[in-house]
A and B are shown apart, each in its own frame.
Chain A
Amino acid sequence: MSLDTRTTPRVAGSSPAARGPRRRLHTMNVVSRYSFVLPAVVFLIVFMVYPLVYTVNLSLFDVNAGNFLSGGAPFVGLENYADFIGSPQFVPSLVITLVFTVGSLIFQHAIGFMFALFFNRGFPLSGLLRALMLVVWVMPAVVSASLWRWIFSGSYGLFNAFLGVFGISSTEPWLVNPNTALAAVIIANIWLGIPFHMMLLYAGLQGVPVQLYEAAQIDGASAWQRFWRITVPMMRPVIVIALLLGFVHTFKVFDLIYVMTAGGPAGATNVLSIEVYKLSFEYFRFGDGAAAANILLIIPLLLSILYLWLRRREDSTQ
């Protein structure tokens, strides 16, 4: 291995003649620097990149329960993709995924922003209270999902009791009714996502110079004006990244929905990731599942490219 080049210690006192040794030291450093990165990169190539490439391969064959171990699945070209896009599940599933993602994101971000601004005002115990909110963030999704199942249950559910406070008498079993299940799942997901947006935005707020607000206040700007004229423009990169990452993360949500409704009732919460799971692990149609998985990947992939491009631009302006 290349590591050996570095294991010979430099002999003390062999003072280097100007250029030669320094160059050698430099090249050896580069080699050993790469050797630090190598194990992790190899790991990701074997366990992430290869599986992803393998999915593309899978998607071109009619792989199913009968032949996925024995091999010999017939090549079907792009048929699996055409089948999935043409299936009655595809369009509703895409729409549900987008409604879930956008519906969650708007409220997560807006509420997270309010919390961030509030905590940024600085008051006794604000650090402790802000940290406490992160407890929601460390909760396993399955735990949150089972809790929200209980909250949204019919006659004795907390959500209906909460509505009762506002004089709305309801015994609606929210997750059983196809008309309300998606809204209920979105509400649960909003709750989960608030700390993520709050953290990102709070960190961003620390980068806005206090002097700007002081100057604006002297000039008589209202709090509302200060928010739209200073906070939002100054926070634009953070806002964009929070929304972009939030979108990608929400678009792929599986565990919360799977545990709360498993895509039901009557397909009301059947997001794309659940459809991929059903095709592959319930119907054992791995070829179809792989094609669906790649379609699920396209939107986050495009957004990731946008994200990387924004990062680059941000880096180069720093």
Chain B
Amino acid sequence: MSMSSRSVTETEAMVVVRTGRRRRPLNSERPKWHLTAVAIIVVGAYLFPLYWLASTSLKSPEQLFTSPPTWVPFPLEWSNYATAVFENPLMMRALGNSLIISVGATLLTLVLAAPAAYGLARLRLRWTALLMLPFLIAQLLPAINVALPMFTLFSQWGLVNSYVGLILANAVGTLPFAVIVLRPFYLTIPGELEEAAAVDGATRFQAFFRIVLPLVRPGLVTVAVFAFVMAWGEFVFGLTLTTEREMQPVTVTLNSFIGQYGTEWGPLMAASTVVAIPLIIVFVVFQRYITSGLAAGSVKD
């Protein structure tokens, strides 16, 4: 989904931080396995389109155009992946572009958001509210409203068709989110820690880097994961701030692919699956880390 629905309210982030551990379920003596059965069916139905994505990518044209549909592809048609991705230099290049842009945007987001969220967590309340304002509003902006002036400005600054331009644009999307998610993590750290460090002769910056930052590591990982996911899936900036096919992120290449391949659904779904796979890997690898990270924040509450 667009980065739109990825934004969270600070309230929500706080709720998650505070209630990381599951509450004891209401009046339950025995585990409710019958509910689990219902949940598996319902969640399975909800996720079925994703199965359809993956299974279509492994179908030959004969298996694709059948009525009723072929539910399980057999034999598996791996050639779709070769056609659409591995023997397609433009697609391979676009995957590389997206990797550079997403990693760049993630690093920039961390470098800017980690100190900013800390400062905002330690500021006096009145100024916090005022300073938080641009971060909150930024989350609600339509991407096209930033992309349009950015294109004319970047044209003058020579940043169209450049990784730097795309990294900067992506960070506009991810930074506000990161600051809002990170701030509650800092709020859970008692100010006495830094005061003690100051007594020991540490500067505020030393205290930040050596004492505070390691404590919010779960928050930093969370923010990095979200920034990467948002930047990898970003489409509007990629579409508007590149005019050369060689510089396009993979989302934009996939879109032009749709026009080019029309109804060759096998290769199309193969390309779509490849675009989705890095995020699914990130999701699976960091799922535990995110939840435990969020829960860890609540211990200090």
Contacts and interface: CB of A to CB of B under 8 A. Distances in A.
Task: Tell whether A pairs with B.
Answer: yes
Interface of A: 3, 6-10, 12, 25, 29-30, 32-37, 39-41, 43-45, 47-52, 54-55, 58, 63, 68-69, 115, 118-119, 121-127, 129, 131-144, 146-151, 153, 155-156, 158, 161, 164, 191-196, 199-200, 203-204, 206-207, 210, 213-214, 217, 237-238, 241, 245-246, 248-256, 258-259, 273, 276-277, 280-281, 286, 289-290, 293-294, 296-297, 300-301, 303-304, 307-308, 311-312, 314
B40 interface: yes
B88 interface: no
Contacts of B223: none
A52 B146 CA distance: 7
A148 B258 contact: no
Given A150-B265, A153-B263, A297-B145, A140 B35 contact: no
A248 B5 CA distance: 9
A41 B15 contact: no
A302 B187 CA distance: 30
A33 B176 CA distance: 18
A3 B268 CA distance: 53
A231 B59 CA distance: 47
Contacts of A135: 47, 50, 280, 283
Contacts of A68: 152, 155
Contact of B258 (A149, A193, A237): A149
Contacts of A150: 52, 56, 265, 268-269
Nearest to A36: B119
A123 B35 contact: yes
A42 to B, nearest CB: 9
Given A47-B172, A129-B39, A308 B133 contact: yes
B198 interface: yes
Interface string B159-173: 000000000110110
B287 interface: yes
Contact of A296 (B19, B145, B168, B240): B145
Chain A binding surface, main DSSP class: helix
Nearest to B168: A47
B2 A256 contact: yes
Contacts of B113: 40
A137 B6 contact: yes
18 contacts: A9-B203, A34-B119, A35-B119, A40-B113, A41-B116, A125-B40, A135-B280, A138-B279, A141-B1, A142-B233, A143-B272, A147-B49, A150-B56, A191-B49, A210-B26, A241-B9, A252-B4, A290-B148
A139 B1 contact: yes
Contacts of A248: 140
A311 B269 contact: no
Contacts of B28: 122
Contact of B32 (A51, A122, A293): A122
Given A140-B251, A146-B254, 9 more contacts: A33-B204, A51-B153, A52-B145, A69-B156, A121-B32, A142-B233, A143-B273, A150-B265, A151-B52
B75 interface: no
A132 to B, nearest CB: 6
A31 B240 CA distance: 39
A142 B255 contact: yes
A276 B142 CA distance: 11
Contacts of B69: 156, 158, 161
A144 B176 contact: no
Contacts of B168: 47
B190 to A, nearest CB: 16
A135 B6 CA distance: 12
Contacts of B169: 47
B2 A254 contact: yes
Given A36-B118, A308-B136, A206 B39 contact: no
Contacts of B23: 122, 206, 210
Nearest to B198: A10
B291 interface: yes
Interface in B1-38: 1-2, 4-12, 15-16, 19, 22-28, 31-33, 35-36, 38
A156 B142 CA distance: 35
B182 to A, nearest CB: 11
A151 B49 contact: yes
Interface in B238-262: 239-240, 251-252, 254-255, 258
A214 B144 contact: no
Contacts of B22: 122, 127
A304 B139 CA distance: 10
A132 B144 contact: no
A29 B251 contact: no
A123 B40 CA distance: 11
B82 interface: no
B90 interface: no
B240 A281 contact: yes
Nearest to B124: A30
Interface string B131-151: 101111110111111101111
A6 B205 CA distance: 8
Nearest to B266: A150
Contacts of A311: 9-11, 136
Nearest to B131: A37
Contacts of B11: 237-238, 241, 311, 314
Contacts of A251: 142
Contacts of B146: 47-48, 51-52
